[in-house]
Amino acid sequence: MTAPRDRNDSPAAVKPAILSVDDDPGVSRAVVRDLRRRYGEKYRIVRAQSGPDALDALREMKLRGQPVAILVADYRMPGMDGIQFLEQAMDLHPYARRVLLTAYADTDAAIDAINVVDLDHYLLKPWDPPEEKLYPVIDAQLEAWLCTEHRPITETKIVGHRWSARSSEVREFLARNQLPYRWYMSDEPEGARLLEAAGTDADHCPVVITAEGEALIEPTDAELAARVGLNTTPSKDFYDLIVIGGGPAGLGAAVYGASEGLRTVLVERTATGGQAGQSSRIENYLGFPDGVSGSQLADRARRQASKFGAEVITTRDVVGLEVRGAARTVRFADGDSLDAHTVIVATGVMYRRHPAPGIDDYTGRGVYYGSAMTEAARCANEDVYIVGGANSAGQAAVYLARTSRSVTIVVRAPSLEKSMSHYLIQQIENIENITVRSCSEVTSVAGDDHLERITLRNNATDTEETVDAQWLFLFIGAAPGTEWLDGVVVRDDRGYVVAGPDLAIDGGRPRGWPLERPPHHLETSVPGVFVAGDVHADSAKRVASAVGEGAMAVMLVHRYLAKP
């Protein structure tokens, strides 16, 4: 009889393990020798000489997502006997087949173990010849194991609480950075097994386990980025161009800057794509007649920029901009700084905070700013409320309506017509489970450990209604978040960056402009510092226009470099 083959014969597949634990070195070596000779090609044979050592190995394999097919444990071991070991091992790898090695005198104990640890087989020592006494037993156990569902999970794993704000942030961070992950709730069996393998408990969630098996307990975004393969440190001290912000404008600038030979680095605080990267489907972007998701568009643009040589660094928060002679210095929150000849500010906008009482208490626990794509699977067959009347709200509504029981769009305006694209309005009108509540707003939210109720006010009828709701997504306008530029470049009264001809006052000298020549079209009041995208005062707030401004800004950078 030949050894059963693993269901995945790919060379890249993770080999399932067969673990043998025995405190007698001679017996241990003999077991492993015989197992390796028969099964070593398709299975990883692991040897341990004590129960605690074997449990350590099993925890490591659990974190790495390596499946364990069979556990072979000697009954008589000091400190922790085979039954005690198998009892703890089954908490980590419940699908592994369990075999106990016993002497003839210990047969009764082996039989008792069938009930204690759900033993699959006990094997009397000695097992010579293995072809008659060992291999038939292992073959049968492998056949049984291969019939169970035990596919290894080798991507990043997150263990957390369902209604934890930080757990939600970690999922959002990985999703927006195009990093696959598997989510486990801490109060479910597999989540508990992973926490045990990581040496922690539910009080210290979220726990992120990398594909390499490293456990990160309550990690920051910077720690996550460094462990999952994102670039967080620039390779140079000086560049031709620093692009601040990784939305469509910043990505467009990075692509054109790098492709035209500029030493270019793009600095992003969270993830490339910006608000557009959170859109479930953009259907009016040139060249994509069937639409494209914001994350797909951002991923393609990021890879395109990298192909041309642009560096993309994440989890670096820009807090200041300084002029040092011909250099433009960008300061980071951690105290580091980076210099370049030129800078393009493409930081986009952020969703405004909702003023209703209780909103901040439930953010990440039923209340979400954006995040529709990340949370969609968790609100399937439930009632969802969306606040906002622009395209981002409409795209989220269409996406969530696929799986949710109902979607209600709450908008203060009498209709969606002034703020949303016509094609989206038409789609919404044709989706039966989407309702639009016009002239309405959310006035308060409530619940215990998560959102459970929201109060809606109809401003036209001056009435209020409290409804049951566990999911509230907010898309309520935008704020530029340019406080870090205060006193450096000219901004308008809403914080948007003013550039080019808009700097002029009554046809006179541009505000704050130090040179004789006029500023270039997208140049701010600081020569060599340009602006592109939604953060630009009076911008179009569309993906295509943002990409176009990013490309145009690079053209103007070349002009500046040729003649500052």
Tens of pLDDT, residues 35-81: 999 999 999 999 999 999 999 999 999 888 889 999 999 988 888 98
Domain coverage including residue 121: 17-146
Examine the domain organization and report whether 49 and 126 are in the same domain: yes
The reported pLDDT for the residue numbered 151 is 56
Q: Are 208 and 185 in contact (CB under 8 A)?
A: no
528: closest CA among 322, 338, 308?
Answer: 322
Does residue 232 sit within a domain? no
Does residue 430 sit within a domain? yes
Examine the domain organization and report whether 261 and 284 are in the same domain: yes
Examine the domain organization and report whether 417 and 493 are in the same domain: no
Q: How far is it, in rounded angstroms, from Cα 457 to Cα 475?
A: 18
Instruction: Give me the number of domains the chain comprises.
Output: 4
Q: Sheet harboring 121-124: ordered strands across?
A: 44-48, 17-21, 68-74, 97-102, 121-124
Examine the domain organization and report whether 132 and 193 are in the same domain: no
Query: Taking the alpha carbons of 67, 73, 78, 80 in that order, is the dihedral positive or negative?
Result: positive
Residue 519 phi/psi, 5° resolution?
Answer: -70, 145
Residue 88 phi/psi, 5° resolution?
Answer: -80, -35
The reported pLDDT for the residue numbered 2 is 41
Examine the domain organization and report whether 138 and 54 are in the same domain: yes
Domain final position from 146, 174, 208: 146
Q: How far is it, in rounded angstroms, from Cα 96 to Cα 152?
A: 12
Does residue 386 sit within a domain? yes
The reported pLDDT for the residue numbered 525 is 95
Q: Are 30 and 24 in contact (CB under 8 A)?
A: no
Does residue 204 sit within a domain? yes
Question: Could you tell me the two tokens for 513?
Answer: 């402009």
Residue 391 phi/psi, 5° resolution?
Answer: -60, -40
| 8-state DSSP, 485 | G
The total of other beta-carbon atoms located within 10 Å of residue 142's CB is 22
Does residue 87 sit within a domain? yes
Does residue 354 sit within a domain? no
- In DSSP terms, which residues pair with 329 in a beta bridge? 322, 339
Domain final position from 435, 452, 477: 477
Examine the domain organization and report whether 428 and 472 are in the same domain: yes
Examine the domain organization and report whether 70 and 95 are in the same domain: yes
Q: What is the DSSP string of 377-389?
A: GGGTTSEEEEE--
Residue 218 phi/psi, 5° resolution?
Answer: 50, 55
Chain centre distance of CA 272: 12
Examine the domain organization and report whether 29 and 118 are in the same domain: yes
Examine the domain organization and report whether 444 and 526 are in the same domain: no
* pLDDT per residue as tens digits for the range 358-374: 899 999 999 999 877 78
Domain final position from 175, 199, 227: 227
Residues 113, 119, 121, 125: what is their CA dihedral angle, to the nearest 10 degrees?
-40
Examine the domain organization and report whether 26 and 69 are in the same domain: yes
Question: ∠392-398-399 over CA atoms, to 5°?
Answer: 90
Examine the domain organization and report whether 488 and 470 are in the same domain: no
**Domain containing residue 209: CATH number:** 3.40.30.10
Does residue 302 sit within a domain? yes
Q: Which residue has the tokens 């020592």?
A: 125
What is the chain's pLDDT, residue by residue, as a tens digit (564 residues)?
A: 344 444 343 334 578 999 999 998 988 899 999 999 999 999 999 999 999 999 999 999 988 888 999 999 998 888 898 888 988 888 888 889 999 888 766 666 666 666 666 788 888 877 888 898 899 999 999 988 888 766 555 678 999 998 999 999 999 999 888 888 889 999 999 999 999 999 999 999 999 999 888 999 999 999 999 988 899 999 999 999 999 999 999 999 999 999 999 999 999 999 998 888 778 788 888 888 878 888 889 988 999 999 999 999 999 999 999 999 999 999 999 999 999 999 999 999 988 899 999 899 999 999 999 877 788 888 889 999 999 999 989 999 999 999 999 999 999 999 999 899 999 999 999 999 999 999 999 999 999 989 999 999 999 999 999 999 999 999 987 889 999 999 999 999 999 999 999 998 766 778 788 898 999 999 999 999 999 999 999 998 889 999 999 999 999 999 999 988
Examine the domain organization and report whether 552 and 504 are in the same domain: yes
Does residue 1 sit within a domain? no
Question: Could you tell me the two tokens for 545?
Answer: 């226009």
**Domain containing residue 268: CATH number:** 3.50.50.60
The reported pLDDT for the residue numbered 212 is 86
**Domain containing residue 101: CATH number:** 3.40.50.2300
